Amino acid sequence: MDKNPRGILYFALALIVIGFGSLSAVTIATFYGAITRYLSLASGKIIIAITGSAVGLLGIVVMSNRAARVRKFGQLKTISWRWVVAGVFIAALSAWLVTSWLLSIAGDDPGRKLDAIKTGLTVGAGAGGIIALLIATRRQWLQERTHIHEREIAQLTQYDATERRVTELYASAAGQLGNEKAAVRLAGLYALERLAQNHEEYRQTIVSVLCAYLRMRFPESAPAANPNSWEEEEQVRLTAQDILTRHLRYDQDEASPDFWPEISIFLNGAHLIDFRLDGAKIATASFVNATFKGECRFSGTVFAGPVTFRGAAFSGVTSFSKCRFESTASFGESRFQDVAAFRDVTFMERATFTGASFARSVTFSSSDFKKLAKFTSATFANSARFSGSVFYGITDFEDASFEAEAIFSAAEFYGVANFLECIFLAGAKFRGATFHGRTVFTRAQFGGRATYEGCTFVGIALFGGGIFEGQASFRASKFLAVAAFGGVQFMVAARYENAYFDEANFAGATFSARAGFGNATFIGKGNFRSVNFLGLIKFSGNAQAADVDFTDASSSGVRIGDCILPSGWQIAENGVHRSFVHVSSMQP
């Protein structure tokens, strides 16, 4: 019995439609009786045949569409013999009805009656032929479906066999990694590599196995009791590293079949030796508390997802030059014991170096920081270069310590540049730098020469409470907003020749040596109230100071005649005390 009632219903409807096709045609002809009377019986036969054929084709279309839906969503069961008998009965009934109608139209003419009988039998035969065609079509479709089903079964069987084989190979290779013999462990690594190369869906799993092996504890030096075993294990680890790095390298000019795309690596706490992952493309990476022994190279690598090196230790030369970090990059608390290079690096998201330490020189020259660049409490024991770098977001060096020269020449800061309480023990070079936002050097300490020559400060510049133990040079710099140097201590010469001030505040500052403002321009107010000048004061040349205030300022240690003050101001000496007075206040 057919267990698909909806399929039976559609098939039955098709048979009914086909069987009554001819009857419908006759009905149409009767409805237009006036026309039929003027047409020959041959013409009527043509009309009936065409109409019946059209209705029959409609039935075929219905069955074909239904068969397609059944093929997609379910299986079609065998048709019951009852429906075959019903189809034959409907075809015979159609022939009888059509013949009866045509005989009633033919009248007493024997020739017309004979044609009516022929036409009825033709309609019946045509209906039966259409039904047979439907059954043959369905049989062909069932044969094709059976073939497709057999092919799917073969594919599933092959897939199951492949899966079992892969699982066996994986289990065998993974088991070899725990073997005591180095040769067996090496064989296991190469077996895993071959498995990942041939089966893309297992690559991430196998990479995770390699990472897990590298995360296993490994002593930094060979034990005296068994040095050979340590050396063998080192070779196994180097092989695991080589497999990992070789398949993550990406050649943009040529699609290499050896490249494994969209791979994430998890090497927290791993002990890595001469790790070279340059030119790679990685989804995400984690190296938290990892140890990099020897040279380490990530040059030109693209990190598509978040990456962290928090707490990592780099003992040798390290290079991240020309890397691209498309997500967050964290180097917080990381330690670089040798030269580190971050030249021409692009940080698309937040870059964090909080608490990082650099024992040797480090360079970030020509790098782009698209978002937050955070170097708070970082320590630079040797030279630190940021020349030509561009900081688009907030730049935070608060409480950072530069024990050697810090070079930010031609750097650009578009967001807030925060150097609050920074220590520059050997001086700093910001020559030609541009600060578009708020600049904070409040309470910063400069142990050597501080060079800000040719700088442009678009936003407010805060240097209040800072200490310049070396020469401070702001020659030809432009302060387009407030320049706040209140309470600053200049232990050596302070040079502001050719500087431009929209508004300047030096209130309470101390100039222990020369204060040079030759050819400086003060557009707004220049506040020098309570400033203590212990050296020469030079507002020579074409210095312009329309509104400068020296109220309560004092001077000592130099000859008054050697000092040059802005127009309208002079130094009055009263015993050992010297004060600044405005000429207008001296007039009676």
Query: At which residue do the structure tokens 């098709």 appear?
Result: 14
3-class secondary-structure state, position 285: strand
* Tally of structural domains, the chain: 2
Together in a domain, 272 and 130 = no
The reported pLDDT for the residue numbered 52 is 52
- Tens digit of pLDDT at every position of the chain (588 positions): 444 555 555 555 555 555 555 445 544 444 344 334 434 444 444 444 445 544 544 454 444 445 444 444 445 556 666 666 666 677 677 667 767 776 777 666 777 767 767 776 776 677 677 777 777 777 777 777 777 877 877 777 676 666 677 678 788 888 888 888 999 999 999 999 999 999 899 999 999 999 999 999 887 766 656 677 888 999 999 999 999 999 999 875 556 888 999 999 999 999 999 999 999 999 999 999 999 999 999 999 999 999 999 999 999 999 999 999 999 999 999 999 999 999 999 999 999 999 999 999 999 999 999 999 999 999 999 999 999 999 999 999 999 999 999 999 999 999 999 999 999 999 899 999 999 999 999 999 999 999 999 999 999 999 999 999 999 999 999 999 999 999 999 999 999 999 999 999 999 999 999 999 999 999 989 999 999 999 889 888 776 777 899 999 988 877 777 788 888 788 887 766 778 888 765 555
Question: How is residue 276 annotated by DSSP?
Answer: B
Q: In what order do the strands lie in the sheet with 384-385?
A: 296-297, 318-319, 340-341, 362-363, 384-385, 406-407, 428-429, 450-451, 472-473, 494-495, 515-516, 537-538
Q: Residue 466 domain-assigned?
A: yes
Domain assignment of residue 385, given as a range: 264-562
- Residue 359 belongs to a domain: yes
Residues 269, 151: one domain? Answer: no
Does a structural domain hold residue 194?
no
d(CA 213, CA 236): 10
Burial of 251 (0-12, 13-18, 19+ CB in 10 A): exposed
Residue carrying structure tokens 């296991």: 188
Domain stops at, among 107, 127, 156: 156
The pLDDT value recorded for residue 76 is 54
CA distances (Å), origin 14, targets 20, 65, 73: 10, 12, 20
Q: Which H/E stretch holds residue 119?
A: helix 110-176
Is residue 167 domain-resident? no
Is 147 in the same domain as 289?
no
Angle, helices 5-19 vs 41-73, to 10°: value is 170
Residue 17 CB burial class (10 angstroms; 0-12, 13-18, ≥19): middle
> Tokens standing for 180?
């005591």
* Domain C-terminal end among 100, 123, 156: 156
Give the count of alpha carbons within 13 A of 251, CB side only: 9
Tell me what pLDDT residue 40 has.
Answer: 46
d(CA 115, CA 41): 8
Instruction: Give the type of residue at 566.
Output: P
- Whether 73 is covered by a domain: the verdict is no
Measure the CA–CA gap between 23 and 31, rounded to whole angstroms: 12
What is the DSSP code string of 170-192? HHHHHHHTT-SSHHHHHHHHHHH
Query: Cβ(529)–Cβ(552) under 8 Å?
Result: yes
Residue 384 lies in a domain: yes
Q: Is residue 28 part of a domain?
A: no
Tokens of 25: 């045609």
185 falls within a domain: no
CB 194 within 8 A of CB 229: no
Which one of 105, 136, 156 terminates a domain?
Answer: 156
Neighbours of 363 (CB within 10 A): 22
Q: Distance (Å, rounded) from C-alpha 189 to C-alpha 202?
A: 14
Q: Is residue 328 domain-shared with residue 457, that is, in the same domain?
A: yes
Tell me, yes or no, whether 142 and 279 share the same domain: no
Q: For residues 542 and 502, what is the distance between their CA atoms, to the nearest angstrom?
A: 17
